[in-house]
Structure formats: C-alpha cells, structure tokens
C-alpha cells in the first residue's frame, strides 16, 4: 500500500513538472498545450509501447513447440497469479536479463534473454519470471511507460524552450523570460529523470516482494539476482546501450557506466537480495526444491 501511494505521489510530481514547464514556456496557454501533448503522448504509448520495445530488441515470440519448458513455467506462474497467459518472447543476447511489457494483463508480454536461460537454473528462472509477472499484475508496465513518456516529453519541451522561447524580441509568452528559459533547460529534465528513477526503484522493490510471494521461495529470486548482477557487469547489452531509456524495464540494470545511486534506474541489488533473504527468514525457509521444477 505504501509503495502504491509513493508511486502515485511521484507520478503526480512528474506531471506537475511537465505542466510547470508548459507554464514557464507560455503561461496558461503553454500549460494547456503541455497537458494536451502529455495526453497524446501517453495515449500513443498506451497502445504502441509493447510492440515498439519488442521490436527494438528483436524479440522473437516462442510457444510450446519452440520453448516448451519456458512457456510451461510462465503458464504455471500465470495461473498461480490469476493472470491471463502472456505472450512469451526470447531476445538473442548473452547478457542474462528479462523484462515485461504491455498495457494491461490482457495484452502483456514477458521477454527473457538467451543469456538468462543459459545461466540460471529452473528455480532461479521461476523467481525471475514471478518477478516479471508481478510487474504485469501490478500494472507497472503501464506505469513505467507513462513515466518514461512524460520524462521524455519534459526534455523535449525543455529543448523547445531553449531554442524557441525567451530569445526573441517578444518574451511576454514566457512568464519568467530568460530566467524561465534557463530554469526549464537546466532543471526540468534533471528533475523529471530523478522522479522517473524513483518510480522505477519503488516498483522494483514491490515486484521483488510480490514475485517472491508468487513463487513461494524468496531465495530463488535472491539467487537469480546475484547471478544476473555479476554476469551483467561483465557482459554488454548492445540493444539496451542503444536504447538507454528502456533500461528501467529490465530486472537488473543492463547498462554499463554512467551515474549510480540517485540516478540509478534500479535499487542496489545487494539491498534487494537482503530484503528477499529477510523474507525467507520470516517464512522459515531454506533453499529447497519447489513446485515449479
């Protein structure tokens, strides 16, 4: 409940930043235009984001005949979660990783890399898939699509403000004139990225928790996160490097270098593992075989 409230507040803050940018550019009229632009962007993302992301990564759909064990595992977990069976995809990529996408549980897709299938055991794979299906059940795929769209739109408006606003002979449309332009250009994109990353980190913690409950074995996901984190640090993900705005979708950060901490799209993996270990201890569990093997 607390994670849901926090996510709602963060998304409200992100929307507020977007509207403030519109106001700084053009007053009330600019704010109205920004709102309409945000609405149009989100509608487009709502209907097309899943196809766009899957196409970016060259994901290939699989079924019982081409990947029977993977599809069977997804089906078992989906039934346990009370979800419709999502489409299942595989990306040919050596880095072990996974993500979910889709506007709602009825139009969801779960995607794993070949590196993940090759490097984790059945229990760890079940933990990862339970995490991704929790994103679907919690509708995080839509939440993160909307936040990414608004954050990107804020940057676009900031660039528009820099190149088109405040530099002409008539600055009356910009309430703060040159000062407003500089504030928009420098601070708005930074604030939007910070809020987007905060939303992503919040949803990752919740998906870890609910995914561990779905599989019934928090240690499976903890072990998978440890294995994926170490491998991802050594193996590049060219598709993600070419599309860094999608990095937040993965179970572990697929990018190398860049900022950490405040600018990270994922919580520290060590903290995630610690929380899962604590869950397992509360449930009185040690590593053992379970219903998905």
Beta strands in the chain (DSSP E): 60-62, 87-91, 98-101, 109-113
Paired residues of 88 in beta bridges = 62, 110
Burial class (CB in 10 A: 0-12, 13-18, 19+), 259: exposed
3-class secondary-structure state, position 254: coil
User: Angle, nearest 10°, between helix axes 177-215 and 218-234?
Assistant: 130
Annotated catalytic residue 69: no
- Distance between CA atoms of residues 127 and 247, nearest Å: 20
Contacts (Cβ under 8 Å, ≥6 apart) of 270: none
Which residue among 123, 132, 204, 206 is the active-site one? 132
Burial class (CB in 10 A: 0-12, 13-18, 19+), 217: buried
Among all residues, which ones are annotated catalytic? 132
């Amino acid at each position: 409940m607390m994670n849901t409230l926090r996510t709602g507040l963060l998304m409200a803050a992100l929307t507020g930043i977007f509207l403030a940018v519109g106001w700084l550019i053009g007053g009330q009229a600019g704010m109205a235009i920004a709102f309409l632009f945000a609405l149009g962007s989100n509608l487009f993302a709502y209907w097309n984001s899943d196809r766009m992301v899957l196409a970016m990564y060259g994901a290939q759909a699989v079924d019982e005949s081409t990947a029977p064990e993977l599809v069977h595992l997804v089906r078992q977990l989906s039934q346990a979660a009370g979800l419709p069976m999502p489409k299942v995809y595989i990306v040919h990529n050596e880095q072990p990783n996974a993500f979910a996408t889709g506007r709602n549980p009825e139009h969801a897709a779960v995607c794993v890399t070949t590196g993940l299938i090759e490097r984790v055991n059945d229990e760890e794979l079940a933990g990862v898939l339970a995490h991704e299906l929790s994103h679907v059940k919690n509708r995080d795929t839509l939440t993160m699509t909307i936040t990414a769209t608004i954050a990107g739109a804020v940057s676009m408006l900031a660039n528009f403000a820099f190149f088109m606003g405040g530099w002409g002979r008539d600055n009356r449309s910009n309430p703060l004139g040159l000062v407003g332009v500089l504030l928009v250009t420098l601070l708005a994109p930074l604030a939007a990225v910070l809020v987007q990353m905060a939303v992503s980190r919040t949803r990752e913690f919740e998906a870890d928790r609910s995914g561990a409950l779905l599989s019934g074995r928090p240690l499976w996901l903890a072990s998978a996160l440890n294995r994926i984190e170490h491998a991802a640090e050594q193996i590049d993900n060219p598709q993600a490097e070419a599309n860094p705005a999608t990095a937040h979708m993965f179970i572990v950060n697929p990018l190398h270098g860049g900022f950490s901490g405040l600018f990270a799209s994922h919580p520290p993996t060590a903290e995630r593992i610690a929380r899962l270990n604590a869950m397992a201890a509360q449930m009185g569990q040690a590593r053992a075989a379970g219903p998905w093997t």
